[in-house]
Amino acid sequence: MNTITIIGLGAGDLDQLSIGTYRKLKSAEFVIARTDQHPAVEELRAEGMEIDSFDAIYEKNESFEQVYEEITTKLIALAEERAVTYVVPGHPLVAERTVQLLIEKESEGLAQLEIVGGNSFLDPIFAALRIDPIEGFQLLDGTDMARDDVQMTQHVLIGQVYDAFVASEVKLSLMEKYAYDHPITIVTAAGSSLEKLRTVQLFELDRETEIDNLTTIYVPPIVEREGRLKEWSTFREIIAALRAPDGCPWDREQTHESLKRYLLEEAHELLEAIDQEDDEGIIEELGDVLLQVFLHAQIGEDDGYFAMEDVLQSVGEKMIRRHPHVFGDREVENSDEVLKNWQEIKKAEKPLVESLLDGQARHSSSLLTSFNYQKEAAKVGFDWPDIEGAFDKFEEEWQEFKVEVENGTKGSQTDELGDVFFTLVNLSRFLRLSPEEAMAHANEKFKRRFSFVEQSVQEGRGAFSAYTLDELDGFWQQAKEGEKK
């Protein structure tokens, strides 16, 4: 096994190479470049040096990762026959995927490497843009970049932007966070005699024709809070400001207990927007629910008990743990198996309880408590074999309630009415309907139809007392018919 000597050609002209690196190149017996597209390669060839390249591999593969893997394989094969000097743009250990793959092979005993430094493109980029990296910067790979990789408060440098296609993908990722007209700078051949900087608006990025393998995209940071509202950290910053000593008096006064009713209200408003298929409404109401989550997390942090990171860790661990068919090696056939696995894993996570119903009460909703109790009891076989038994039980409880209405006390009537509700919840469970959602629908429907009755009264005789019940019911029927159109 011969040594593969990896040499960085710097970011531009041959003049950027140190004397030692230049001499090592000139004395090499066999030199191969990852790509011909570099000024130093042209200059070395002009001096009479023979340099092969892997450019042909780029043409036949569909992805950059396939290109890099094939280059790595060929380099190892070449090293079986002779010593190889492999030259790459910039510094070998900065944004050079093939070198990282070779290092992996070296750790497996499949390659022997010598890495010779070269100037990375970062130093000339910082000089060209006049930025100080201590302020915080990111170096991202344009061929493998996602929206969530970007930190908007930092200087963002995006390398590997070889052509218009990569530039287009980068643009689309950035536009998920930045304004379409956010200024960006296209830097070409930084530090060389061909250095060029062009500042354009973000949406124009892939319209530029002068993009090549020496191109780096610079995205300046956004300091103003209003310009980075699409970042999670900004929303957290806003909530922290509201709860700060000089923040909002109302927000500072809130506790977990005082916010409970708001979470319920926002959840119901979200459900209403979903029912109405109102995308804009869903966006707004999801934001209101998220506000409640962040407020509770900030209260936990202010009180010193927990922070948002704890919330994220808890739910993240739970999702990974309860989805072994996604994050592990378990296989499932359908969603029924997913739910079965979920319940088994959930049961194993929970401490032993004295009753199956422990922890199932929902103090905010008697309907949900009833639903949960019946669901848990059904899991151990305490249930009707089919919905007919549930219907029969409802008829039985309904008749008992009617008897108490005629002859019973307020206490016995309340008790029997509760039994009627309980059997209705049981029916909803058999039909896989949400009793809470059904009740919310009924309330909304009543409000909508009664509002029509109110409007009809106001436009007519002006007072409810001026109408008979039959006339008012006529308005109700009109509202009902209008909904069918």
Last residue of a domain, one of 208, 227, 246: 227
* Range 32-41 average pLDDT: 89
The answer, yes or no, to whether residue 432 has pLDDT greater than 90, is no
Q: Are residues 189 and 131 part of one domain?
A: yes
Q: Indicate whether 12 pLDDT > 80.
A: no
CB-count burial class (<10 Å; 0-12, 13-18, 19+) for 300: middle
Instruction: Report the pLDDT value the prediction gives residue 398, as an integer from 0 to 100.
Output: 95
List C-alpha distances in Å: 106 to 77, 118, 453. 13, 21, 81
Task: Give the residue from 227, 243, 259 where a domain finishes.
Answer: 227
In a domain, 331, yes or no: no
346, part of any domain: no
pLDDT at 469: 93
Do 53 and 107 belong to one domain? yes
pLDDT per position as a tens digit, 265-318: 899 899 999 999 999 999 999 999 999 999 999 999 998 888 999 999 999 999
Domain containing 59: what range?
A: 4-119
The answer on 113 and 31 residing in a single domain is: yes
For all residues of the chain together, what is the average pLDDT?
90
* Residue 213: pLDDT over 90: no
Phi-psi sector, 115: left (phi>0), alpha (psi -120 to 50), beta: beta
| 158 part of a folded domain | yes
Which one of 207, 227, 247 terminates a domain? 227
Say what percent of the chain tops pLDDT 70: 99
Count CB atoms within 10 A of the CB of residue 218: 21
What number of other Cβ atoms are within 10 A of residue 401's Cβ?
19
Sheet of 155-159, strand order: 137-141, 155-159, 215-219, 183-188, 196-201
CB neighbourhood size of 20 (10 A): 10
In a domain, 318, yes or no: no
112 and 52 belong to one structural domain? yes
- Residues 394, 413: one domain? yes
* pLDDT score of 485: 66
Rounded-to-integer distance, Cα 217 and Cα 107, Å: 33
- The Cα 129–Cα 122 span in angstroms is 10
Q: What is the CATH number of the domain that holds 78?
A: 3.40.1010.10
Q: Are residues 369 and 461 in the same domain?
A: no
Is residue 332 one of the residues assigned to a domain? no
Average pLDDT rounded to a whole number, residues 219-237? 93
Q: How far apart are CA 384 and CA 402, in angstroms?
A: 24
Per-residue confidence band for 473, with pLDDT thresholds at 50, 70 and 90? very high
What order of strands is seen across the sheet that includes strand 31-33? 51-53, 31-33, 84-88, 3-8, 112-116
Residue 264 has pLDDT above 90, yes or no: no
**Could you give the CA distance from residue 81 to residue 462 in angstroms, rounded to a whole number?**
101
Q: What is the mean pLDDT of residues 448-452?
A: 92
CA distances from 481 to 386, 408, 449, 484 (A): 35, 39, 10, 5
CA distance 247 to 435: 40
The CATH number given to whatever domain includes residue 388 is 1.10.287.1080
Residue 303 backbone phi and psi in degrees, to 5? -80, -10
Range 333-362 average pLDDT: 80
63: pLDDT strictly greater than 90: no
**Can you give the pLDDT at residue 285?**
96
Confidence at residue 350, expressed as pLDDT on a 0 to 100 scale: 72
What integer pLDDT is reported at residue 355 of this predicted model? 79
Predicted local distance difference test score (pLDDT) of residue 3? 93
Q: How confident is the model at residue 434 (pLDDT cuts 50, 70, 90)?
A: confident
Give 308-318 pLDDT, tens digit per residue. Answer: 999 999 999 99
- What total of structural domains would you count in the chain? 5
Is the pLDDT at 352 greater than 70? The verdict is no
Please indicate, yes or no, whether residues 32 and 111 belong to a single structural domain of this protein: yes
Q: Is residue 293 part of a domain?
A: yes
The enclosing domain of 138 has a CATH number of: 3.30.950.10
pLDDT at 102: 94
136 and 110 assigned to the same domain:
no
Residues 130 and 113 grouped into a single domain: no
pLDDT in tens, 90-144: 889 888 889 999 999 999 999 999 998 777 888 889 999 999 999 999 999 998 8
Q: Do 18 and 41 fall within a single domain? A: yes
Whether residues 143 and 208 share a domain: the answer is yes
Give the Cα separation of 132 and 155 in Å (integer): 9
Q: What per-residue confidence (pLDDT) applies to 237?
A: 94
Q: What is the pLDDT of residues 131-147, one digit of tens each?
A: 999 999 999 999 888 88
User: What is the structure's pLDDT at 70?
Assistant: 94
What is the structure's pLDDT at 109? 92
My answer on whether 99 and 113 are in the same domain is yes
